[in-house]
Amino acid sequence: MEHVYEILEVAGSSKKSIEDAVKNAVAAAGKKSKNLRWFEVVETRGYIEEGKISYWQVAVKIGATIEA
Amino acid sequence: MEHVYEILEVAGSSKKSIEDAVKNAVAAAGKKSKNLRWFEVVETRGYIEEGKISYWQVAVKIGATIEA
Amino acid sequence: MEHVYEILEVAGSSKKSIEDAVKNAVAAAGKKSKNLRWFEVVETRGYIEEGKISYWQVAVKIGATIEA
Amino acid sequence: MEHVYEILEVAGSSKKSIEDAVKNAVAAAGKKSKNLRWFEVVETRGYIEEGKISYWQVAVKIGATIEA
Amino acid sequence: MEHVYEILEVAGSSKKSIEDAVKNAVAAAGKKSKNLRWFEVVETRGYIEEGKISYWQVAVKIGATIEA
Amino acid sequence: MEHVYEILEVAGSSKKSIEDAVKNAVAAAGKKSKNLRWFEVVETRGYIEEGKISYWQVAVKIGATIEA
Amino acid sequence: MEHVYEILEVAGSSKKSIEDAVKNAVAAAGKKSKNLRWFEVVETRGYIEEGKISYWQVAVKIGATIEA
Amino acid sequence: MEHVYEILEVAGSSKKSIEDAVKNAVAAAGKKSKNLRWFEVVETRGYIEEGKISYWQVAVKIGATIEA
Amino acid sequence: MEHVYEILEVAGSSKKSIEDAVKNAVAAAGKKSKNLRWFEVVETRGYIEEGKISYWQVAVKIGATIEA
Amino acid sequence: MEHVYEILEVAGSSKKSIEDAVKNAVAAAGKKSKNLRWFEVVETRGYIEEGKISYWQVAVKIGATIEA
Amino acid sequence: MEHVYEILEVAGSSKKSIEDAVKNAVAAAGKKSKNLRWFEVVETRGYIEEGKISYWQVAVKIGATIEA
Amino acid sequence: MEHVYEILEVAGSSKKSIEDAVKNAVAAAGKKSKNLRWFEVVETRGYIEEGKISYWQVAVKIGATIEA
């Protein structure tokens, strides 16, 4: 069958890890669409406070099926 | 005159051809906006079943005029 | 605190300058979201009429906070 | 033998297909040089009118032999 | 389930079209592996003879499942 | 209608601003062709003398219609 | 001494983490060659089911010494 | 004569313009080295407050002669 | 207020994880500057011994405030 | 003073070395313009016959001053 | 005629020069296939010992004809 | 053991060859650090006088161990 996906871009962050930042981005996108199917991490950044990493931040492209 | 465009990203697919996959992506975007103006193909992929191409999939950026 | 941003892509134009084209893109995005935080210019183009630049056009990625 | 190529960049368009847009670009370049040898498609775009693709536009780099 | 794919890169050509060149690349890869799953077109080029396109050439990355 | 564009690349400079450097590049290209239509800024550089920016330099791709 | 490496590209996946997906890719490549030396992660993607990340998928380039 | 340049990367910002943000980056680099010669703008970003651009931020690579 | 950042590039490694390799890079940069603010991961690599990942290595760009 | 450069792209080849292929590209461009100022190597390729490199081929961008 | 190429990636090194490192990569690939046709240098690196370059290392993509 | 590298960027030039320009860049970096380990050539350019290459210029990223 022929699918069409809308591709959203979302930036998520986390104090714990890169994976957790991606999960937060996906969770936020999930409030906009019930049909998320895949993601691609396009940027991995973060912030530093007093010499330590205070949080991780990722930019993620997320594909969501559009109902025909 | 000075225009502003919203740039959407959509992935479309087709059993027939790259052009047809782009048309499907544009058609889906057309349900969200009546003001589509241009597109750019940013990725050309596809899937293979039993050694044959089962469908073509393209990622397309699409520009739509925003009314001022 | 952990933030999530939606990343929009908008193209704006101006007869005056690159900065003014970016302002127009940001102003248009501001009608969709009250929570714009940052932008990145990803493309700088323009149009020419009778040998002179008739307007500047920029593509801008814009990050907007999503309320958790 | 050692060849030298001039590399031209041309954008062509077509109502029909990507391949036809490339052919139009090559045909136009052929009026400037009789010695075209190869091409590379570097951008695939297009325009949309009333929700349908009105034409395809490609940017093509074209190599032409320079006689030593 | 957790999959692993080997990613092959193959260049195929065709006198007819970009899609046909991709099919030829996939067919050749199919002689090496029975488990082809997806492809991505990474380059679209071609050759010109007497001012006309003599054939299309594409470079394609192809993913093939490796049995665990 | 189906257009074909020749794409020129020109580097222009200016003591004043990025926009002025682009204008100088477009003006120079205008001596070669009366049919300039659009441009894209592909590089923004400059030179420094005694700790101050002495001039801005941009590389610009410029599209010019080729008469059929 | 002068080394030569064969560079393989493998995609691995994991339900747990990016690191685990890379390990699975390396383990699969290890069945083909005993001489793996280094890797580079070139793409980080994943799949989503019912709003949650179902698995992580990475594309990895892997260098393996070729015996002279 | 044969020169060697150290290439620094600096991010500067300004409330006024892209050019002014570059000037601020160059001025800061000038406190580290008296021998700045050229720069390249590698990123143009900015921040938004209450729907308006609060400042422009550029990342600039700067070349400085090293005395032999 | 208008900030200026120096952008350092550091490669860190770790036997444990990508995040730990980034932490080691940030810790090393922290010995040079007390004013680290943000980072961006620009490359993720690693080394393999006897078929297993012996350590992860990341290249990280790190921004540090320069006092005006 | 404010300069404008035309940027040509030329591919040159040589049986001997990369540097010699660049020299051949520059020599050919020199027949078109007396005002060549700088070049940038953008691609390094070559051809193989009977297992040996038969010639090196480079694509070079060349900047030539345009008289105002 | 319509050709299909397998594209291999190989890294070669040499104490002498970039060209010699490419030759070593091509020679190693030649043990796997008798049908090498072209190459492209995709990365040029090297190692340093006691302040001097101890060897050059290149990553090369190599195209080899597959018999139909 | 876990290493940390500082990554410097240096541009070197030479009248003779690309390799010699890299050597000059490495030699200059060697005056700043005794712990240089590897390099990557990121740009190959040059200057032309009276139709001939007057010198080669390379931009090189250089990794130097930081003592823990």
- Comparing alpha-carbon positions, the chain L residue that sits nearest to K59 is L40
Chain H residues within an 8 Å CB radius of L13: 2-4
Number of H helices, E strands in chain E: 1, 3
| Ramachandran category for residue A18: left, alpha or beta (phi over 0 → left; psi -120 to 50 → alpha) | alpha
Inter-chain CB proximity D18 and B23 less than 8 Å: no
As a whole number, the mean pLDDT across chain C is: 95
Contact of D39 with D28, CB cutoff 8 Å:
no
Contact of H25 with H11, CB cutoff 8 Å:
yes
Write the pLDDT tens digit of every residue in I7-52: 999 999 999 999 999 999 999 999 989 999 999 999 999 999 999 9
Write the pLDDT tens digit of every residue in K7-65: 999 999 999 999 999 999 999 999 989 999 999 999 999 999 999 999 999 999 999 99
Domain annotation for chain E: domains and CATH numbers: 5-65 (3.30.1660.10)
As a whole number, the mean pLDDT across chain K is: 95
N residues, chain G: 68
pLDDT of G43 > 90? The answer is: yes
Write the pLDDT tens digit of every residue in B10-27: 999 999 999 999 999 999
Written as one string, the DSSP assignment of D36-62 is EEEEEEEEEEEEEETTEEEEEEEEEEE
Contact of E10 with E17, CB cutoff 8 Å:
no
Q: How confident is the model at residue D9, as a pLDDT?
A: 98
Inter-chain CB proximity A10 and C9 less than 8 Å: no
The 3-state DSSP composition of chain C as helix, strand, coil percent (nearest 5) reads 20, 55, 25
Q: Which residues of A44-65 are buried (b: 16+ CB within 10 A; e: fewer)?
A: bbbebeeeebebbbbbbbbbbe
Taking the C-alpha atoms of residue B3 and residue B38, their distance in angstroms, rounded to an integer, is: 13
Task: For residue H10, give the nearest of A37, I7, J13, G20 by alpha carbon.
Answer: I7
Contact of G45 with A20, CB cutoff 8 Å:
no
Determine the residue among K7, K13, K45 to mutate to test chain G binding: the one whose Cβ has the most chain G Cβ atoms within 10 Å.
K13
Give the three-state DSSP class for I20.
helix
What value does the mean pLDDT take over residues D26-41?
A: 95
Residue J28 is encoded by which pair of tokens? 């050919």
Q: How confident is the model at residue C67, as a pLDDT?
A: 72
Q: Does J41 touch chain D (CB under 8 A)?
A: no
Q: Which residues of K19-45 are buried (b: 16+ CB within 10 A; e: fewer)?
A: bbbbbbbbbbbbeebeebbbbbbeebb
Name residues of chain E where pLDDT drops below 50: 1
| Ramachandran category for residue B27: left, alpha or beta (phi over 0 → left; psi -120 to 50 → alpha) | alpha
pLDDT of J1 > 70? The answer is: no
Q: How confident is the model at residue L65, as a pLDDT?
A: 96
Q: What is the DSSP letter of E15?
A: S
Q: How confident is the model at residue K67, as a pLDDT?
A: 72
Write the pLDDT tens digit of every residue in H1-31: 478 999 999 999 999 999 999 999 999 999 9
> Other CB atoms closer than 10 Å to residue H21's CB: what's the count?
27
Write the pLDDT tens digit of every residue in B23-54: 999 999 999 899 999 999 999 999 999 999 99
Taking the C-alpha atoms of residue D38 and residue D60, their distance in angstroms, rounded to an integer, is: 10
L27 burial (CB, 10 Å; 0-12 / 13-18 / 19+) is middle
| Ramachandran category for residue H29: left, alpha or beta (phi over 0 → left; psi -120 to 50 → alpha) | alpha
Q: Does E61 touch chain D (CB under 8 A)?
A: no
Phi, psi of B25 (to 5 degrees): -65, -45
Partner residue opposite G11 with nearest CB, options E9, E63, E68 = E63
Taking the C-alpha atoms of residue L12 and residue K67, their distance in angstroms, rounded to an integer, is: 45
pLDDT-based confidence at residue G1 (cuts at 50, 70, 90): very low
Q: Three-state SS across L10-65?
A: EEEEECCCHHHHHHHHHHHHHCCCCCEEEEEEEEEEEEEECCEEEEEEEEEEEEEE
Write the pLDDT tens digit of every residue in J8-64: 999 999 999 999 999 999 999 999 899 999 999 999 999 999 999 999 999 999 999
Taking the C-alpha atoms of residue D1 and residue J15, their distance in angstroms, rounded to an integer, is: 8
Distance in Å, alpha carbon of B6 to nearest chain C alpha carbon: 5
